[in-house]
Amino acid sequence: MRASLMITCLGDLFYPEVGVRIVRLLRRLGVEVDFPAGQTCCGLPLFNSGYHAQAAEVARRTLPLFAGAEHVVVPSGSCAWMVKAEYPHLLHGEERAGAEALAAKTHELSQFLVDVIGRTDFTSTVKGRVTYHDSCHLLRGLGETRTPRAILGRLAGAELVELAGGDECCGFGGSFAVRLPEVSSAILDRKLASVEATGAACVAACDAGCLMQMSGGLSRRASAVRALHLAELIAEADGD
C-alpha cells in the first residue's frame, strides 16, 4: 500500500514532529509513504474568508501534486474536509473530475488507520486517563466521530474518558480567533474547564488548529494537562 502525506500549513510550521510520527507509524504498518514536494496550503483560509476564486487556484495547483497517489493521508480534519468536500465544487470540467478523484482517496489519519488499514490496537504514550475533543470540521464536515474513538478506546495503557461538550468548538475557528479574540477566549475557557474536570492527563485532537488553541490556553492556565495530536498518543514501538 502506498500513501502520500499532505502535511498542512500548521502541521508543517508548528507540528513537524506530528508529521514525522505519522510517517514512522505508517511505515511500521507496512505502508510506503512519500511526501510530494511543492505542496502548500490547502486553500481553506482563503475559502473561509470568501476568496473562492483564489481557493480554486490553490486547489488547481494541488491536484497534479497528488495525482499519482494511491491514498492521501491528512493529519488535520479541517484540511481533509477542504479537499474532500470543497475541491469538487470549486473546479469544473476535467479539473472537477480530478478533484473528485483526489477527494475519493483522501483520508484524515484516523480514518486511514481504521477504515483503510483496518488497525485499531496500539500502545499509548500517555498512561492513565485521556480525553478527546471533536474538531468542528472532522465532526460536522466529515461527520466523523467513530474512527478517533476506535483508536483511543483501545489504546493499551490508557483509559478514554468522554469529554462533556466534546462536540463543542474550542474557539479557534481560524481567523475567528483573531477577529473576535474575546469570544474565542470565552469559548476556550469553557472547553478547558471541561477538559480539566475529566482528570485526564491529556486531551487529544485530530486538528492542528484546535491543538494550538487548547495548548495556548492550557499553558496560560499553568495546567498539567497536555493537548496532543492523536498520532502523538500512538507509541512508535513497544515500550516507546
pLDDT in tens, 111-148: 999 999 999 999 999 999 999 999 999 999 999 999 99
pLDDT of residue 239: 43
Q: So where are the chain's domains?
A: 2-115, 119-233
What is d(CA 226, CA 6) in angstroms, rounded to the nearest whole number?
25
Judge whether 2-115 and 119-233 match in fold: yes
* Fold held by 119-233: Rossmann fold (3.40.50)
Contacts of 25 (CB under 8 A, 6+ apart): 231, 234, 236
Using an 8 Å Cβ cutoff, are 18 and 75 in contact?
yes
pLDDT of residue 237: 61
pLDDT of residue 90: 97
- The SS3 assignment for 3 reads strand
> Could you tell me which CATH class the domain 2-115 is placed in?
alpha beta
Residues in the chain: 240
Region 186-191 average pLDDT: 97
Tens-digit pLDDT profile for residues 56-110: 999 999 999 999 999 999 999 999 999 999 999 999 999 999 999 999 999 999 9
Which class for 102: exposed (0-12), middle (13-18), buried (19 or more C-beta within 10 A)? buried
Q: What pLDDT band is residue 173 in, cutting at 50, 70 and 90?
A: confident
